[in-house]
Chains A and B, each alone.
Chain A
Amino acid sequence: MKREKSHADDPRLTAYALGELEGEERAEIEALLEENEEARELVEATRALASSLEAQLAAESAPGLSAEQRRAIEERAARGRGRRTARLLSWRSVAAVALAASVLGIAGLWATRPEVGVFGRRAAQAPAGSAWKPQLSVPANGRYVRRLDFGFGADSEAAQITMLERSGYTGAEGTVSAPPEADGPARRFDRDGDEVELLLRSLGYVDSAERSTEEYERIVENPFFPPRFEPLSTFSIDVDSASYANVRRFLKSGTRPPPDAVRIEELVNYFPYAYAGPGDAEAPFAVHVEVTQAPWQPAHRLVRIGLASRAIDARERRPANLVFLLDVSGSMNDAAKLPLLKRALEMLVLELGERDRVAIAVYAGSSGLVLPSTPASYKVTILESLERLGAGGSTNGGEGIQLAYRVARKSFLEGGINRVILATDGDFNVGVTSDGALERLIEEEAQSGVFLTVLGFGTGNLKDAKMEKLSNRGNGNYAYIDSLLEARKVLVEELGATLETIAKDVKIQVEFNPLEVAGYRLIGYENRILQHQDFDDDTKDAGEIGAGHTVTALYEVVPAGRGLAVPGEPELRYQGEREASAAAFAGELLTVNLRYKEPTGTESRLLALPVRDDGKAFHDASEDTRFAASVAAFGMLLRGSAHCGAATFADVRTWALESRGDDEGGYRAEFLELVELAAD
Chain B
Amino acid sequence: MNLDSKIPEGPIEQKWSKHKLSLPLVNPANKRKFKIIVVGTGLAGASAAATLSELGYQVEAFAFQDSPRRAHSIAAQGGINAAKNYQNDGDSVRRLAYDTVKGGDYRSREANVYRLAEVSVNIIDQCVAQGVPFAREYGGHLANRSFGGAQVSRTFYARGQTGQQLLLGAYQALEKQVNAGGVKMHSRHEMLDLVIIGGHARGIVTRDMVTGKIESWAADAVVLATGGYGNVFYLSTNAKGCNVTATWRAAKKGAGFANPCYTQIHPTCIPQAGDYQSKLTLMSESLRNDGRVWVPKKAGDTRAPGQIPEDERDYYLERKYPSFGNLAPRDISSRAAKQVCDEGRGVGPGGRGVYLDFADAIKRVGKKVISERYGNLFDMYTTITGEDPYTVPMRIYPAVHYTMGGLWVDYNLMSNVPGLHVIGEANFSDHGANRLGASALMQGLADGYFVLPYTIGAYLATAKQPKVTTDHPEFKKAVDDVRARITKLLNVKGKRTVDSFHRELGMLLWNKCGMARTEAGLKELLVEIPKLREEFWRNVNVPGSADSLNQALEKAGRVADFLEFAELLVMDALDRNESCGGHFREEHQYEDGEAKRNDAEYQHVSVWEWKGEGQAPVRHKEPLVFETFKPSIRSYK
Asked if A and B are interacting partners, one says no
